Amino acid sequence: MVLLDALGKRWTLRLLWELNQSWPCTFRELRARCDDISPTSLNNRLKDLRELKLIELGESGYALTEQGQALSRLLEPLDRWANQWAKNFDSN
Amino acid sequence: MVLLDALGKRWTLRLLWELNQSWPCTFRELRARCDDISPTSLNNRLKDLRELKLIELGESGYALTEQGQALSRLLEPLDRWANQWAKNFDSN
DNA sequence: TTATGCGCTACATATTGTGTAGCGTCAATC
DNA sequence: GATTGACGCTACACAATATGTAGCGCATAA
């Protein structure tokens, strides 16, 4: 339940998704990619994700850890489904 | 991005997960299963999920729609991974 | 009629997120 | 060697969201 609750926090899923698209990625770049999320919120979520050892801050920016990569990969089918679903949903 | 943002709201993932475990399920039962979430929050999330047509309120309680079932199924690998992950994480 | 369980609302309080400004650090440039 | 720019990140006032508790209106059953 721990992880499920963590993922349920605002921006967490989005951050993992963005990082899965391309990483490493700087703090400021992440902000830009996430609809200019406030730095406060971004930092809080990054802290959470670092504590969970899903991401880490390296030389050239934030990066997915091994486990972060594994998790992100599981989100891909979800994302694909979501895109299909969005198409059908909008056309109502 | 729509669905991803919706799933990122607090309790949304948890609710889908709980319903995927067993449904239909009454409002009060859902509360109990979700750590006694406040009725206000529960109702807000249920509204969201109904608008997204992922769940619906039937005779005998809240139930997953076809699409809700499809989505929940995609969460299963995630949940399995999370359980494994939690084991390794706690033993640190 | 009373009792019970239902979905849900009201409302005051607490927690969380937002938006903007800017700090301290460092590497490159003039 | 002072300046500029980008970095991660913090401060803080304000807004949005969640929480906890009480209870409403409705239905079915005893």
Of A3-7, A18-22, A48-52, A81-85, give the lowest mean pLDDT range.
A3-7
Give B26→chain A minimum CA distance, Å.
Answer: 21
CA distance B12 to A87: 21
Whether residue A73 lies within 8 A of chain B, CB to CB, comes out as no
Q: Is residue B14 over pLDDT 90?
A: yes
The type of residue at B85 is W
In this prediction, residue B91 has a pLDDT band, given cuts at 50, 70 and 90, of: low
List pLDDT tens digits, range A60-79: 999 999 999 999 999 999 99
pLDDT of residue B43: 97
Cis check: omega of the bond before A24, within 30 degrees of 0: yes
> Which nucleotides on chain C have any atom < 7 A from a protein Cβ?
5-12, 16-22
CA distance B9 to B31: 17
Q: What's the mean pLDDT in A20-26?
A: 94
Distance of CA A66 to the CA centre of its chain: 14
Higher pLDDT, B31 or A3: B31
* Contact yes or no for A81 and B89 at CB 8 A: no
- Tokens 């509360």 correspond to B31
In this prediction, residue B3 has a pLDDT band, given cuts at 50, 70 and 90, of: confident
CA distance B48 to B62: 13
